[in-house]
Chain A
Amino acid sequence: GAVVSQHPSRVICKSGTSVKIECRSLDFQATTMFWYRQFPKKSLMLMATSNEGSKATYEQGVEKDKFLINHASLTLSTLTVTSAHPEDSSFYICSARRPTLNTEAFFGQGTRLTVV
């Protein structure tokens, strides 16, 4: 079964509204989770590292106020796209890894966000 569950799989929202995406680690306690963004036929771009109980670490060029990340528990991280615009339309994927070197990452199913 899935180790990481991401919800929703698809969402359509109007410009100016906010959308929350949830990522749950089902199999282990994830002190760290990761959020990626993927454009069509492109690679995954790391947006931020979600740290349980502390602030997220954002990659260069990612707007913190646009993409709010909350990691309130050891099994749940959320990404909120605030005041969404059509250019925020994309495929967002979360992942979790056990906090050990040389381990694989487990990915959620991804969320297809369309802003109209």
Chain B
Amino acid sequence: SQQGEEDPQALSIQEGENATMNCSYKTSINNLQWYRQNSGRGLVHLILIRSNEREKHSGRLRVTLDTSKKSSSLLITASRAADTASYFCATGAMDSSYKLIFGSGTRLLVRP
């Protein structure tokens, strides 16, 4: 099962620019998380925002959460070529299963 959609599906920017990715989901959640995946590799956790939080920062990352709209955004500021990867949002279910359901992902290309 897949929770929702991310947009854009692909994003190409110049190094130094900001990148914004959006995520929408369908059900009630405990938290929303963002992960990064380099091609053909496992996922790396970036940031977690709880359902009662609206904004969170971590280094060059800024995440917002709007539970009324069931949406989240990830902003990467001052992008670097090394930020090139796929980015996924994932929602933590309200039940006790602890499972994460992933969005469709955004492929980010940062051109040097």
Contacts and interface: CB of A to CB of B under 8 A. Distances in A.
B59 interface: no
A41 B109 CA distance: 14
Interface residues on A, range: 20 to 34
A95 B40 contact: no
Contacts of A101: 30-31, 92, 98
B45 interface: yes
Given A43-B2, A110-B40, A104 B99 contact: no
Interface string A38-73: 000111111001000000010110000000000000
Interface residues of B, number: 27
Contact of A102 (B41, B43, B92): B92
Contacts of B107: 41
A36 B103 CA distance: 13
27 contacts: A32-B97, A32-B98, A34-B100, A36-B102, A41-B107, A43-B88, A43-B103, A44-B43, A44-B102, A45-B1, A45-B2, A46-B99, A46-B100, A59-B1, A93-B42, A93-B43, A95-B43, A95-B100, A97-B100, A102-B30, A102-B31, A103-B48, A104-B45, A104-B48, A105-B90, A107-B44, A109-B42
Interface of B: 1-2, 30-31, 33, 35, 40-45, 48, 50, 88, 90, 92, 97-105, 107
Interface of A: 4, 6, 32, 34, 36, 41-46, 49, 57, 59-60, 91, 93, 95, 97, 99, 101-110, 112
**A-B complex: 5 closest residue pairs judged by Cβ atoms:** A107-B42, A104-B45, A107-B43, A44-B102, A109-B42
Given A49-B97, A93-B42, 7 more contacts: A42-B104, A43-B103, A45-B2, A57-B97, A102-B50, A104-B48, A105-B43
